[in-house]
Each structure stands twice: as C-alpha cells, then as structure tokens.
Amino acid sequence: MKRVLLSAAAALALASCSALGMGGMGSNAAAVREAPGYVRMAGSSDLFEIQSSQAALQTARNAEVRRFAQTMIDHHTMTTNEVTAAARSAGMSPPPPSLAPHHATLLRQLQATSGAARERLYVQQQVTAHQEALALHTGYSRAGDTPALQAVAARAVPIVQQHLTEAQRLRGTLGG
C-alpha cells in the first residue's frame, strides 16, 4: 500500500512539474544567458534545496537522508551567498531568493507527506531538482553574459553533479 501511495505521489509530482513547466525548465535552464534570469533561477533552486531539506530533517529517521539534507542546507546556503556576492560585484542589486511556482508546489507536496514516504519523496525531488540545477549552472557557465557569475556557475557544476549522484544513490537505497 505504501509503495502504491509513493508511486502515486511521485507520479503527481512529475505531472505537476510538467504542468508547471518544470519539465521544460530543465531545458530552459540550460538556455539562460542573462544574469538576472540566472540569479533568479539559481536563487529559487537553492531556496528549494534549503527549505525542502529543512522539511526532511524535521521527520527523517534515516541517517543517510539526514546527512544528505544537512549537506544540502550547508552547500546551497553557500551557493546562494556566492551568487549574491558575484551579482553585486557585477553591479547588480539581486533581490532575496524566492521560490518559483514549481518549487513552491514541490515543497507543499513534500510538507504534505510524513515518515518514510516523505524521505522517499524528498530524495526523488532532489534528483529532479539537481538535474534542473545542473542544467542551469552548466548552461550559464558556458554561455552566460556576466563573467563573475559564470565563474560561480562553473564552480557549482561539480558540486551539483556530486549532489545528483548522491541523491540517485539514495533513491536506489530507499527503493524510490
């Protein structure tokens, strides 16, 4: 029964991502070349990682999930600070990060679950979110319009790839 509910939750999450444009956002993320768009999308991505990880930490019992969530909070807080500093050094006045609609929807879905189902949904969302973030940072590092932000994006790529690999491993461990 739990597996059926998890499968339904995962399907709903994927369907809502597609309906909200997240499915297309990954490909669009790679096409972001202007600094304001990159800063906005990177901020939403980091904020989602931080807030969803905080939600996971509230109830997670699996030690690996807890460790991963804390790492996400630490690393994505650092990335937000680096993007903000680079934007300011380039003469921008970046607003505080805010969740894009698809990230807000995913966070609400996560908050509506509990226990092992929350852990599995959290890890699945991390896989999807890190695929999106990897496309964003890779694309901007190669074709962005602001060198300081391109450098931050380039430094983020291997970190995000490592997060993605770990999230995929955890998904396999949890049976997601």
107 contacts 55 by C-beta, under 8 angstroms? yes
Continuous H helices in 60-114:
63-89, 101-111
pLDDT tens readout for residues 105-159: 999 999 999 999 999 999 999 999 999 999 999 999 999 999 999 999 999 999 9
152 contacts 86 by C-beta, under 8 angstroms? yes
Q: How far apart are CA 7 and CA 129, in angstroms?
A: 18
- Predicted confidence at residue 15, as pLDDT, reads 37
- Predicted confidence at residue 28, as pLDDT, reads 59
- Which residue in 55, 7, 46 sits closest to 152, CA to CA? 46
CATH class of the structural domain 33-174: mainly alpha
pLDDT tens readout for residues 23-74: 434 445 656 889 999 999 999 999 999 999 999 999 999 999 999 999 999 9
- Predicted confidence at residue 4, as pLDDT, reads 33
- Predicted confidence at residue 33, as pLDDT, reads 87
Q: C-alpha 70: how far from its chain's center?
A: 14
- Which residue in 7, 6, 8, 24 sits closest to 102, CA to CA? 24
45 contacts 136 by C-beta, under 8 angstroms? yes
